[in-house]
Amino acid sequence: MGYRGHYKKFDLERWFSQLLENTAIMDMASSVDDAYDRLATLMAGAAGVDSCIIFQQEVDNRFKAVARHAVAEGFDRAVLTGEAAESLKKKMPAITGAKELGLPDTEANRRTRFLCMPILFHKRPASIAILFSPGKSVEFPADTIERLSIIAVHGAHTIDELSYVDELKRRRDELRRLYEIQRRITQTIDFEKATESIVENAPYITKLKYCMIYLLDPAGRNIVSVKAPTEVERKFGKLTFRLDELVASRIAMDERKPLFIEDAPAYPNISQRIVRMLGFKSAIVLPLIAREKVLGVMWLYSTDRKVTFSEDDRRSAMALADQAAIVIDNARIFKELEESYEKLKDLDKMKMDFFTLISHELRNPLAVIRGFTELLYDGMLGPLNDRQKEKLQRIMENVDKMADMVGKMSEVSIVETKRYPLERVPVSLSDMVGGLVREMSFLFKNKRITLKVDIPQSLPLVEVDREKMEQVLLNLLNNALKYTPEGGEVSIAARDQVNEIVVSVHDTGIGIPRKDLDKIFSGFYHAGYKLSYEYKGPGLGLAVSRRIVEGHGGRIWAESEEGKGSTFYFTIPKSPIIKR
C-alpha cells in the first residue's frame, strides 16, 4: 500500500511538472500559427507517437491542415467520415483508419492506427488533432488520452486568446491605414485632386490593386466622369462608360449596397466586355453615398489574381467608400461655392459698372436742370407768381436729392474700382466728432433725442482722410437719428484697442432684423418692411461708409435687436507713425 502510495505521489509530481512545462511552451507562442505548431509537437510527445497533424474545419466535414508535426508530405486536407466524423460531433476521441480521415490509401497508411483528438474552441470552427506513427499500429492507453485532452483544452484556450490578439492587431492596422488614407485625401478640397488622391491611395486599404470612381451628374442620370489610376489611363486612355452599360454599378447604386465579386469573369451581373477590356479578376463595387444622395460608384479590382474577401476586406472597402463619398461631396460643394462666388463677383462688377455709367451720365443733365430751374426761380426769364415759385422750389429740392444720390453712387463705384484717393492727415477723433455733434445738435433737439458723446481726449490721433471719415460719422449719426423715434437716445463712443480704434454709434431705435445685418452694407438695401415708414433713403449711405472704412484698412459692422436699438461699429487701424 505504502509503496504504491509513494509511487503514485511521485507520478503525480512528474505529471504536474510536465503540465506546467507544456503550459509554458504554449504560453510562449507568438501567433495562432505558432501555437498550432507547438500544440502538435506537444501532443505527439505526450502520446509518444512520431506525427501529429492538426486539421481545421473549413465547411462541414472538410478540413485543412494548420499544423503538421513530423509529416513529410501530403496530408494537406482531410474529409472526415465514419468514426472520425462522429468523434468531432460527440467531442470524444476515437481511433480510426486512414480511410475515415480521407487520407491517401497507401500501404503504410493502411497499417497505421490514427487517434482523433477533437480540439474545441470558444469562437472559431472546431479543429481535430490526428496522432499516429506512420506505418505503425500504436496503442493509446486511457491515461495518455486523458493527458492529451488536458493539453488540447489548454492549447485551444491559448489559440483562442492569440486569435483575439491577432484580430485586435488586424483592426489596429486597418484603422491605421484608414486614418492614413483619410489624412491623405482630406488634405485637399480641390475636386480633381481629391478624387485623384482617393484613387491612388485606395490600394493601401484593400488587397485590390486598382480603384476607379464613376461619378453621376447631379440629376443622377449619367456618368459624368470616370477617375482611374494614371497607370490604367496610360494603358487604356481616358475611360468613358454609359450608365446603361454598367450593370454591376447600377445594381450597387440602385440597391445602395456593395457587391463583392470574387470571380468577375464568371459573374452574371457585370458587363463582360469591361471585364475583358480591363482584365478584372475580382472586384468590389461600392455605391458612393453622401447626405443620402448617390454620387456615383467606386470600383476596387484586381487584375493579377482572384481574391477571396475576408470580413476585414469588406469592412475596409466600405469604410473607404464612406470616406471617399464625404470627400467628394465636400469637394463638389466647395467647387459649386467657388463658382457661385465668381458669379456673384461678376454681378457685383456689373452693378458697379452700372453705377459708374449712371452716375456719370446723370450728373450733367441734373446740373443743367438745376441751373435752368434756378434761372426760372430767380425770375431771370420773366416774372413768376407764388404758386409757380413754390413748384420750382419743390423741383429744386428733388433735383438736389437726386444729385445727392448720384454723388453717393459715383462714390461707391469709385471706391470699388480702387481709384479712390485718400488724403490722410493726423486727426483728433474727439475734435472731429465734437465738430459734427455741434453742427447736428439742433436736429437731435428737434426730435427730442438725447445725444451722448464719449470720446476720450487721450485717444491717439488717427491718420485718415478727414472729409471722408466725417462722411462715415455723419451717415451713422444721421441713420441713428432717422431710425430712432422721438424721446430716444443716441450715443457715440470710441475705444483704444491695441492696434485699432473702435468707434461705435448706438441708438435706441427700431433695430434691424438679424438676417439683414450683413446686407445693409451692400447698397440699395432697406432692412425689413417696417423701416420705410418714415424715410426711405437710397440705401447707399452704409455702402459708401463701408467702402471708406475699408479704404482706410478698417472694418464696419452692426449689432442690433429689433425694437430695441442698433449699434454700428467701425475700426480705424492705428497709424504706425503716430501711435502713442
Residues that bind ligand ADP (CB under 6 A): 475, 479-480, 483, 507, 509-512, 520, 525-527, 531, 537-543, 566
Cell 475580382 maps to which residue? 282
Nearer to ligand ADP, 339 or 404 (CB): 404
Cα(42)–Cα(155) distance, integer angstroms:
10
- Amino acid of residue 454: D
Q: What are the distances in angstroms from CA 282 to CA 207, 234, 299?
A: 10, 21, 10
> Is 293 in contact with 152 (CB distance < 8 Å)?
no
Nearer to ligand ADP, 127 or 560 (CB): 560
**Of 80, 64, 91, the residue nearest 152 (C-alpha):** 91
Give bridge partners of residue 118 from the DSSP assignment: 128
Least distance (Å) from ligand ADP to the CB of residue 441? 18
Contacts of 104 (CB under 8 A, 6+ apart): 74, 75, 98
**Of 358, 385, 393, 410, the residue nearest 543 (C-alpha):** 410
Burial of 122 (0-12, 13-18, 19+ CB in 10 A): exposed
Nearer to ligand ADP, 29 or 540 (CB): 540
Least distance (Å) from ligand ADP to the CB of residue 509? 5
Residue of closest CB approach to ligand ADP? 537
**Of 445, 531, 527, 437, the residue nearest 488 (C-alpha):** 445
> Is 111 in contact with 6 (CB distance < 8 Å)?
no
Strands 489-497 and 556-561: unpaired
Least distance (Å) from ligand ADP to the CB of residue 516? 7
Least distance (Å) from ligand ADP to the CB of residue 517? 9
Least distance (Å) from ligand ADP to the CB of residue 408? 8
Nearer to ligand ADP, 411 or 463 (CB): 411
Least distance (Å) from ligand ADP to the CB of residue 549? 13
Nearer to ligand ADP, 334 or 557 (CB): 557
**Residue 310 DSSP one-character state:** P
Least distance (Å) from ligand ADP to the CB of residue 478? 7
Least distance (Å) from ligand ADP to the CB of residue 504? 12
Nearer to ligand ADP, 267 or 525 (CB): 525
Measured in whole angstroms, how far is the alpha carbon of residue 14 from the centre of its chain? 64
Strand locations in 385-488 (E)? 424-427, 450-454, 462-465
Q: Calculate Rg over the CA atoms of the chain.
A: 44
Nearer to ligand ADP, 335 or 519 (CB): 519
Least distance (Å) from ligand ADP to the CB of residue 448? 17
Strands 94-96 and 114-119: antiparallel
Sign of the torsion formed by the C-alpha atoms of 209, 215, 221 and 222: negative
The SS3 call for residue 521 is helix
Nearer to ligand ADP, 541 or 554 (CB): 541
Q: Side by side, which strands form the sheet with 489-497?
A: 450-454, 489-497, 500-507, 565-573, 556-561
Contacts of 272 (CB under 8 A, 6+ apart): 265
Nearer to ligand ADP, 359 or 566 (CB): 566
Nearer to ligand ADP, 456 or 487 (CB): 487
Least distance (Å) from ligand ADP to the CB of residue 519? 8
